[in-house]
Amino acid sequence: MNIVLASQSPRRKELLEKCNVSFTCDPADIDETMDLSNNLNDEIQNLAYRKAAEALKRHPDDLIIGSDTIVVLNNQVLGKPKDQADAFQMLKHLQGNTHEVITGLCFLSKKRKYTAVSISKVAFSTMNDEEINEYISTGECMDKAGAYGIQGFGGRYITKIEGDYYTIMGLPLNMVYEELKNYNLY
């Protein structure tokens, strides 16, 4: 059985490589709209499932891994910023506050479906406008939910995390490893 990661995220690819399994990437091109009036944990798991299900159509005999991550502050979902002004506003709201990062995960094959969610809390230090603009100028924040990357320059603004660090990066590594063992891949 081959493993297919239904993602184009370089971070998810890098993390899955840490599980020491061979895999290919085949991003799922789906509508990623979520119904924010529903339970966010259910919605992010459903989004991970929809990504995996789309990739399974192209790889029916393989094991598909789908994942997605959202940042939530005061019950408001912060997606990827549309532009630098949007990134500035997101970072302005995050600074000095604690938010949740929720990653949905789905393992899907024609014989089995497994979905899970992992939640971590992240505390941001207080940032002034100059620091926010300096961080935005790195370009790092533009393709990340919540407009920051904990594994890059954004890490210098994190004062505390509760939960799984890899959830914040976009793929809860231990959850993935434990589920892969169920497929006798080790």
- Catalytic site residues? 68
Pairing of strands 3-5, 24-25: parallel
Distance from C-alpha of 156 to C-alpha of 135, rounded to nearest angstrom:
10
Distance from C-alpha of 159 to C-alpha of 96, rounded to nearest angstrom:
9
Question: Are 157 and 125 a contacting pair, CB within 8 Å?
Answer: yes
Burial (CB count <10 Å: 0-12, 13-18, 19+), residue 179: buried
The secondary structure of residue 126, as a DSSP letter, is: P
H and E: helices and strands count for the chain: 6, 7
